């Protein structure tokens, strides 16, 4: 076991983890933050995307021990005082989901994208989300939502 200390969605945690524990499994099973989902075994789908020190990573593609001393933001840490994050609001208003499974990852990566590029074109949104798969193929409305969030000042 290794002891790690992390900050997740604003809260501090110190936990013992097996070195082989993936970050996503630590978030879901030890912290109960099931908002971050696992969609594949290969690192392709992006459903488990979280922010590590403010930058997007696939939480299935790193071990929890590697996050020791770092700060993580998951989909569960976005809303404040019951108010959705502008990106969540934009996904809601633009019907940017069907089954919703890819949505946590899509929203986290979209926030990362706007941090680099606050006003992306449609093509830039598609390129910025190339690591996130939506198997309902609802990409049109996802692109719309990201652009709406950008227009609403969603790079927060």
- Interacting residues with another protein (CB under 8 A): 2, 18-22, 25, 41-44, 46, 49, 52, 55-58, 60-63, 65-66, 109, 112-113, 128, 130-132
CB of 87 to another protein, least distance (A): 15
61/93 with CB nearer another protein? 61
CB-based contacts of 127, cutoff 8 Å, min separation 6? none
52/142 with CB nearer another protein? 52
CB of 110 to another protein, least distance (A): 11
58/85 with CB nearer another protein? 58
56/103 with CB nearer another protein? 56
């Amino acid at each position: 076991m290794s002891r790690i200390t992390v900050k997740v969605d604003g809260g501090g945690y110190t936990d013992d983890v097996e070195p082989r524990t993936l970050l996503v499994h630590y978030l879901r099973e030890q912290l109960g933050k099931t908002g971050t989902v696992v969609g594949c075994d290969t690192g392709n789908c992006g459903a488990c995307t979280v922010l590590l020190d403010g930058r997007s990573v696939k939480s299935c593609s790193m071990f929890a021990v590697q996050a020791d001393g770092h700060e993580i933001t998951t989909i569960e840490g976005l809303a404040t005082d019951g108010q959705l994050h502008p990106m969540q609001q934009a996904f809601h208003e633009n019907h940017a989901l069907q089954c919703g499974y890819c949505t946590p990852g899509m929203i986290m990566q979209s926030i990362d994208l706007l941090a680099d590029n606050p006003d992306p074109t449609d093509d830039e949104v598609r390129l910025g989300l190339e690591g996130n798969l939506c198997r309902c193929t609802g990409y049109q409305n996802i692109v719309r939502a990201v652009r709406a969030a950008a227009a609403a000042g969603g790079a927060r």
